[in-house]
Amino acid sequence: MTFWLPVYTLWRRDLIRFWRERTRVLGFLGTPLIFWLIVGSGFGDMGFYYPGTLTLTVMFSAIFSMMSLIEDRREGFLLSMLVSPAPRASMVLGKVLGSSTLAWLQSVVLLVFLPLAGYPVSLHLLAQLAAVLFLIAFTFTSLGFLFAWKMDSTQGFHAIMNLVLFPLWMVSGSLFSMQQAHGWMQWLMRVNPLTYSVAAIRRLLEPSVADGSPALAVSVAVTLGCGLALWIASTAAASQKVSRSNA
C-alpha cells in the first residue's frame, strides 16, 4: 500500500492540474491535427498518415506533460516528494502515469477521426488502439522524465523535441513506408524505436499491410520493452543522491 498510495496521489494531482488548466494544454492537439489534414489531403491518403498523426499527438502531449516535472522542481513541490519516505520507484511511476494518462486522453480524442481516415469503427478496434496508445504514451513520458529530471528550464526540452524526437518521428514510417525507403534509410528505420510505435498502430488498422512494417507482436514488444527500460532508467536517475552545487 505504501507503494501505490504515492502513485495514486501523484497521478491524481496531474489530472486535477490538467483539468484546472485545460485551455493551456489542449493547444498541443492542434499541430498534429493540422499536419494530418494538410498532408493527408494533399497526398490524397488520409489513411496512411493517420498512424503517424496519432503517434505525433502522443509524443507531443507526453513530452509536454512531462514539463510539469520541471515546474514541480521550480515551484518546490518536488522538494517535499524528495524528503518523503515514498519509494522513488513509486514517485516516478506516479508522475509517469499521470503524464501518460493526459497524453493518452489527448490521442484518444483523435480516434473520432477514424472514419475520416477510412477505417471501420468497432469497439474491439477502439479498445486495441487505446491500449497501444497508452503503451506509447507511457514510453514517451518515461523518456520525458529522464530528460526533465536533469533540467532546470523548459528551453532544453524544446531543443530535444526539435532536434531528436521530431527527426526520429520523420523516419518512423509515418511519412514514408519502409518499403519506399532506400538502402541506409531502411536500416535507420529498423533501429528507430519509434518505427515500432507507428507500426503497432498501422498493423491494428490494417493487419495485412505489406509496406515493410514490423509485425504487430514485435512492434508491441519493442514499445513495451522501451517503456519499461526508460521507466527503470528514470527511477535509477531519481534515486541518485544529488549533490547540487547551488548552495
Shorter beta-carbon distance to other proteins: residue 42 or 76: 76
- Least separation in angstroms between residue 13's CB and other proteins is 6
- Least gap, CB of 3 to other proteins (angstroms): 9
- Nearest to other proteins of 20, 124 (CB atom): 20
Least distance between other proteins and beta carbon 196 (Å) = 35
Q: Measured from the CB of residue 97, what is the shortest distance to other proteins in angstroms?
A: 14
Contact 157, 246 (CB under 8 A): no
CA 45/CA 7 separation, integer angstroms:
42
Indicate the residue among 12 and 175 with the shorter CB distance to other proteins.
Answer: 12
CA angle 105, 114, 15 (to 5 degrees): 5
Phi-psi region at 120: left, alpha or beta (left = phi > 0; alpha = psi -120 to 50): beta
Q: Which is nearer to other proteins, 9 or 128 (CB)?
A: 9
Task: Give the burial class of 84: count Cβ atoms within 10 A of its Cβ; 0-12 exposed, 13-18 middle, 19 or more buried.
Answer: exposed
Question: Is residue 110 a contact partner of residue 73, using CB atoms and an 8 Å limit?
Answer: no
Binding site for other proteins (CB under 8 A): 1-2, 5-6, 8-10, 13, 16-17, 20-21, 75-77, 79-86, 241-245, 247
**Closer by beta carbon to other proteins, 6 or else 51:** 6
DSSP letters along 32-86, please?
A: HHHHIIIIIHHHT-HHHHHHHHHHHHHHHHHHHHTHHHHHHHHHSHHHHHHTS-S
Nearest-approach distance from CB 10 to other proteins, in angstroms: 8
